[in-house]
Amino acid sequence: MNDRILMSSPDVGELEETYLLNAFRSGWIAPLGPDVDAFEREVADRVGVAHAAALSSGTAALHLGLLCLGVKPGDVVITSTMTFAATANAITYTGARPYFVDSELESGNLDPALLEHALGELRAAGETVSAIVPVDLLGKAADYTRILPIAEAFGVPVLADAAEALGASHAGKQAGAFGAASAISFNGNKIMTTSGGGMLLTDDAELVARVRYLATQARQPAVHYEHTEIGYNYRLSNLLAAVGRAQLTRLDGMMARRRAIRDRYRSLLASVDGVEIFGGADDRDDNCWLTSVVVDPAVTGWTAADLSAALGAANIESRPLWKPMHLQPVFAGAQSMLNGNAQRLFETGVTLPSGSALSDADVDRTIDCAARFVEERR
């Protein structure tokens, strides 16, 4: 049996090892230290925001971002149903209720017209909507050009879930620079990794100061540690920040590699009717984190699950798109505003090996397997 080919595994090597060892030998082992400060500055500069707080995960960044925007128990927080559970989990941690809005078909991102409709209905029902959390799905930024004016008209702050989108842009601005604040993730499978970690990005100095305070157990500046609020233990360790600094120097190269892999899939499937690369033809602004395809079985005669099974038989990993939150048992009771697109994408989409650590041989093997599958069913 061939070695298993994974969808998106960490792309690390000698550079990361050097940065990590240097941090270790510097003696800054304990949480925080000069690599955390430098990593925050470097990511903030890269994205074009004034401030960044390095945290233990993207989920922690979402949680603290919501708290610092004033989200309270019983409030409603609107998010995209087409996302990873972390987005909705973070909303739930605050005691607020997630409200799921459906997607644009091409991008899977939050549909601005439906968002506006949902805000109108919630206002009419007398609900307090305290934040909107758009998600930049698989590395394509949501349509902030339309979303931000709607949010502003309703007076609701935006916390962008840019966990999947570091390096992507929209209308000339980097993902992570939209809204009142945003969260990015450095989990092991993301476009760059610290093995685990995240960041809260914002232009608001007061907000980032409050995030740092809540992330370090809400310690008041007194020698005996005075506490007047409940805090969290959410900071990123200095050793992991060092890994992140090495990764950041390679971000453009890793994005280019993922794009090159996507281009291989695109040319393979160009001649196959009924199959599209998910996200549309124009992906110039995307970071190409994951490449998925959407299959129309009425045209192809086969389904996304058939392709996935063929890859699986060759020991190649693939997976459906995120199962929408409104279909998840744990959120069964949540309110939502649906158009059917997220469910349709879940049922017809499949995500293919996309990681920048894939070798040329791995990519060739995956493409050959997909090509054989497609040929046999023509």
- Residue ranges in contact with ligand PLP by CB under 6 A: 57-59, 83-84, 86-87, 135, 161, 163-164, 185, 187, 198
Shortest reach from residue 165's CB to ligand PLP, in Å = 9
C-beta of 243 vs 363, nearer to ligand PLP: 243
The alpha carbon of 54 is separated from its chain's Cα centroid by a whole number of angstroms, namely 16
Cβ neighbour number for residue 160 with a 10 Å cutoff: 29
Identity of the residue, 8 or 336, whose beta carbon is nearer to ligand PLP in the bound complex:
8
Q: Decide whether 302 or 322 has the Cβ nearer to ligand PLP.
A: 322
Chain position carrying tokens 């949902």: 118
Cβ of residue 313: shortest distance to ligand PLP, in angstroms?
28
Minimal distance, residue 285 CB to ligand PLP, in Å: 18
Q: How far is the CB of 178 from ligand PLP (least distance, A)?
A: 15
CB closer to ligand PLP, 6 vs 367: 6
Q: 58 vs 108, which CB is nearer to ligand PLP?
A: 58
Please answer whether residues 244 and 192 qualify as being in contact, where contact means their C-beta atoms are separated by less than 8 angstroms.
yes
Distance between CA atoms of residues 11 and 20, nearest Å: 15
d(CA 176, CA 103): 20
Q: Which is nearer to ligand PLP, 191 or 242 (CB)?
A: 191
Q: How far is the CB of 191 from ligand PLP (least distance, A)?
A: 10
Cβ closest to ligand PLP, residue 163 vs residue 248: 163
Report the length, in residues, of the chain. Answer: 378
Cβ contact 104:344 at 8 Å: no
Q: How near is the Cβ of 118 to ligand PLP at its closest, in Å?
A: 19
**Quick one: CA dihedral 133, 134, 139, 143, positive or negative?**
negative
Return the HEC string of 338-377.
CCCHHHHHHHHEEEECCCCCCCHHHHHHHHHHHHHHHHHC
**CB nearest ligand PLP: which residue?**
58
Backbone angles phi, psi at 210, to 5 degrees: -70, -35
Question: Three-state DSSP class for 184?
Answer: strand
Return the residue matching tokens 């994974």: 6
Residues near 192 by beta carbon (within 8 Å), at least 6 away in sequence? 11, 166, 186, 244, 247, 248, 250, 251, 254
Q: Are 32 and 238 in contact (CB under 8 A)?
A: yes
Q: Which is nearer to ligand PLP, 287 or 300 (CB)?
A: 287
d(CA 351, CA 354): 8
What's the closest the beta carbon of residue 157 comes to ligand PLP, in angstroms?
18
As measured in angstroms, the least distance from the Cβ of 17 to ligand PLP is: 22
**DSSP-derived secondary structure letter, 138:** G
Residue 168 or 363: the one with the smaller Cβ distance to ligand PLP is: 168
Which one-letter amino acid corresponds to residue 176? Answer: G
Output the smallest distance, CB 91 to ligand PLP, in A. Answer: 11
